Amino acid sequence: MVGREKELSIHFVPGCCQLVEEEVNIPSRRVLITGATGLLGRAVYKEFQQSNWHAVGCGFRRARPKFEQVNLLDSEAVHHLIHDFQPHVIVHCAAERRPDAAAIGAFLIYISSDYVFDGTNPPYTEEDIPSPLNLYGKTKLDGEKAVLENNLGAAVLRIPVLYGEVEKLEESAVTVMFDKVQFSNKSANMDHWQQRFPTHVKDVASVCRQLAEKRMLDPSIKGTFHWSGNEQMTKYEMACAIADAFNLPSSHLRPITDSPVIGAQRPKNAQLNCSKLETLGIGQRTPFRIGIKESLWPFLIDKRWRQTVFH
């Protein structure tokens, strides 16, 4: 702790309340998180803030009052934010283009996806050649190239499908299945073709922080990295695991083993090899059953189950 700042607080004493100016410690390490209102961004902000970093998050539609409201397409606004705050690290969780981190020497972590691979020859290392099947994967790959070409010291972190403490079930492709699981009076078709590796956002957040802290000690920490949960599941298997975690029936869930014919093409199995980060001593994995129970119990419809699930 090196910085100090004055902060106003209210002190209550019998008969009156007083407005008192107090000095508070400000952590010396500064991190800026873009997309801080999103599922991953919220977890990254929380992880750094709780680990003695001065964290500032920015977002757009849902930013106020907790985060800075910045449109990342407004280069002047982004420039002002970065140059006023002077972050040591920028974690780019937002979908928009990268901030100009190179200009101030910040370590940029760009969040990418396992969808940069076509899923025909897993597991994939960082050295394997990407071959995205759909627009999302191509967009992420373009972002990776732009980041690494413009900032030689940056890091790209590829991750798979995420889940965690959602504000609404639709925020994650994993948690969105919960309603289908709960409404057991209606049969539900679930994909049993694509192999996924559901990963908790707090684990990715921890990896980002560990990567940032290693980089502050070692400038050679840069380039492309992979992180992923290690439990392989189809959506059908995830839905069954969710049902099991909450003691709910799963007989109404129907596995569909055919390759999807509608919508964007998806890789069958884009498993990421994470040994590069593991060799650096970086990593954290939450077992799916534990993580999904933590994430979904507020959305449990039948309140009677709440008494049995956690006891």
pLDDT digits (tens, 9 = 90+) for 291-303: 999 999 999 987 5
Tell me which long-range contacts 181-185 makes (C-beta under 8 A, separation of at least 24): 181/239, 181/242, 181/243, 181/246, 181/248, 181/250, 181/253, 182/248, 182/300, 182/301, 182/302, 184/248, 184/249, 184/250, 184/251, 184/252, 185/252
pLDDT digits (tens, 9 = 90+) for 217-268: 999 999 999 999 999 999 999 999 999 999 999 999 999 998 877 777 899 9
Token representation of residue 179: 């309603």
Q: Express each pLDDT in 174-232 by its tens digit.
A: 999 999 999 988 999 999 999 999 999 999 999 999 999 999 999 999 999 999 999 99
Quickly tell me which residue has 């049969």 as its tokens. Answer: 187
Arithmetic mean of pLDDT over the chain: 89
- How far apart CA 70 and CA 57 sit, in angstroms, is 10
pTM score over 0.95: no
Beta strands per DSSP E along 206-289: 223-226, 253-256
The letter for the amino acid at 73 is: L
Q: Residue 2: its pLDDT value, please?
A: 41
Residue 308 clears pLDDT 60, i.e. is over it: no
Instruction: With a cut of 50, say whether residue 1 has pLDDT above it.
Output: no
Q: Smallest Cα–Cα separation from 93: which of 130, 51, 143, 134?
A: 143
Cβ atoms of residues 155 and 225 within 8 Å = yes
Structure-token match 């069958």, residue found: 268
Residue 20, judged by CB atoms within 10 A of its CB (0-12, 13-18, 19+), counts as: exposed
Identify the pLDDT of residue 239: 98
